[in-house]
Structure formats: structure tokens, C-alpha cells
């Protein structure tokens, strides 16, 4: 069994992205399962091009995408990705879409196929603040979740996939009144998420 877990590069003027900082130092194996780690670009067009290539190359059994969510105080497990790209700020390529579908003539939305409620319960049992989120937004995080689930659906692949948003880490909020979570706790949350996700495989 193989688990692909991704994080994003920094964006929005930040020097680091806690999603990738947490992902890159995960163990190479968890409960005997190989962990594949990839850093994704904060690019609408880049995600549409590169993420399917990564999926085809790695052929994982489970895909766990992660990203930074400013303002959120807990680990949030996303329930749904919608077929829209819209942003008030440019991505790292300088692109700022408005009311643009990710894929034309594709489904309006896809639901996560990870065991989202069980993941939240396990995180809380381990004293990690966690919740289900019903909106992954319309920025690159939502695009990544949609692209992964769409690729899996149209190719009839037996892959479970979903998205997790993580808070800022403390060093990012030294001069701004935003909630944060330690990198150690975020990394532990991702390990727990992986362990819960592989139970059904």
C-alpha cells in the first residue's frame, strides 16, 4: 500500500507553508505503509497540469492533500471540493481567476472519500483540535482537491482522496493576531490521519 501526502509551497508573502513543513518530515513508513511526499505549487494552472501527472507516476492507494488556512485554529478535514476557481489575490504565477470552472462540463462537486468523521474523532481523542469543514474555499487548495478527485473518477481508479487544512504555525503569527498550532501537533495530526485512512484498505 502507498499513501501520497502533499503540502504546498509558501504563498501570500509567507516564507514557509506549514502544510509542507509538516509533510516533509513525516516518516518514510507508517504502520508498514510507504509514505510518498510531494510539494505542490500554489498555481491554479500548475495544479491542473502537475497533480494528475503525480498521481499517474506514484499510483497511490490513498491521497491526502494538505494546505494552509489562515485564521483557522484547528485541523479541518474538508468534506467537498467545488468546480470553481476564484480569487481576490493572485496565485504564485500571478493568475487571478474569476468565476472560472476548473474543468468545463465536469461535475459541480466531489466529496472526500477519506473517513472524515473518524479522522476528526481520532484527532480529538488525541487532544488535537479538529473539525469537518464544508468549504475548501475557491483558491488553489480547493482546486487541488477537485483535480485529484476528478482524475480518480474519470479514470475509474480505486484511490481514496481528500484534503486537510492546517493552521499557521507560531512563527508565522508573531506580528499578526491569528490563531496557530505547533508544527509538532500538525505533524502528529497528519500521522493520525494516515493511520485512520489506511484502516479500510
Residue 193: strand, helix, or coil: helix
pLDDT < 70 regions, the chain: 201
Q: The CATH number of the domain where 76 resides is what?
A: 3.40.630.20
pLDDT of residue 127: 98
Q: Is 141 labeled as catalytic in the residue annotation?
A: yes
Number of H helices, E strands in the chain: 5, 9
pLDDT of residue 137: 96
Long-range contacts of 181-189 (CB under 8 A, 24+ apart): 181/73, 181/74, 181/75, 181/129, 183/18, 183/21, 183/22, 185/128, 186/18, 186/22, 186/75, 187/22, 187/25, 187/26, 188/126, 188/128, 189/75, 189/123, 189/128, 189/130, 189/164
Range of the domain at 145: 2-181+190-200
SS (H, E, C) 75-91: EEEECEEECCECCCCCC
Whose CA is closest to 81, among 96, 105, 97, 65? 65
pLDDT of residue 122: 98
Asked whether 103 and 150 are in contact (CB, 8 A), the reply is yes
Residue 108, judged by CB atoms within 10 A of its CB (0-12, 13-18, 19+), counts as exposed
pLDDT of residue 144: 98
CA 89 to chain centroid: 19
Give me the residues paired with residue 29 across strands: 34
* Residue from 141, 150, 191, 196 carrying the catalytic annotation: 141
Q: Is 100 labeled as catalytic in the residue annotation?
A: no
The total domain count for the chain is 1
pLDDT of residue 200: 78
* Residue from 21, 150, 151, 165 carrying the catalytic annotation: 165
* Residue from 21, 78, 191, 196 carrying the catalytic annotation: 78
**Alpha helix segments (H runs only) across the chain:** 18-24, 44-58, 116-125, 140-154, 183-197
Length of the chain: 201
Q: Is 78 labeled as catalytic in the residue annotation?
A: yes
Amino acid at each position: 500500500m502507498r499513501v501520497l501526502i502533499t503540502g504546498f509551497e509558501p504563498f501570500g508573502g509567507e516564507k514557509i507553508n506549514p502544510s509542507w513543513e509538516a509533510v516533509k518530515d513525516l516518516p518514510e513508513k507508517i504502520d508498514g505503509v510507504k509514505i510518498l511526499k510531494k510539494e505542490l505549487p500554489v498555481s491554479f494552472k500548475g495544479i491542473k497540469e502537475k497533480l494528475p501527472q503525480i498521481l499517474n507516476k506514484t499510483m497511490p492507494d490513498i491521497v491526502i492533500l494538505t494546505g494552509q488556512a489562515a485564521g483557522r485554529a484547528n485541523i479541518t478535514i474538508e468534506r467537498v471540493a467545488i468546480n470553481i476557481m476564484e480569487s481576490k489575490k493572485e496565485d504564485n504565477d500571478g493568475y487571478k481567476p474569476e468565476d472560472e470552472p476548473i474543468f468545463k462540463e465536469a461535475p459541480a462537486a466531489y466529496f472526500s472519500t477519506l473517513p472524515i468523521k473518524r479522522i476528526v474523532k481520532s484527532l480529538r481523542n488525541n487532544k488535537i483540535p479538529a473539525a469537518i469543514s464544508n468549504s475548501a474555499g475557491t483558491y488553489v487548495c480547493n482546486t487541488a482537491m477537485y483535480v485529484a478527485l476528478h482524475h480518480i473518477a474519470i479514470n475509474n481508479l480505486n484511490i481514496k482522496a481528500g484534503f486537510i487544512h492546517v493552521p499557521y504555525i507560531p512563527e508565522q503569527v508573531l506580528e499578526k493576531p491569528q490563531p496557530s498550532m505547533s508544527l509538532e501537533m500538525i505533524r502528529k495530526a497528519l500521522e493520525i490521519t494516515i493511520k485512520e485512512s489506511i484502516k479500510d484498505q
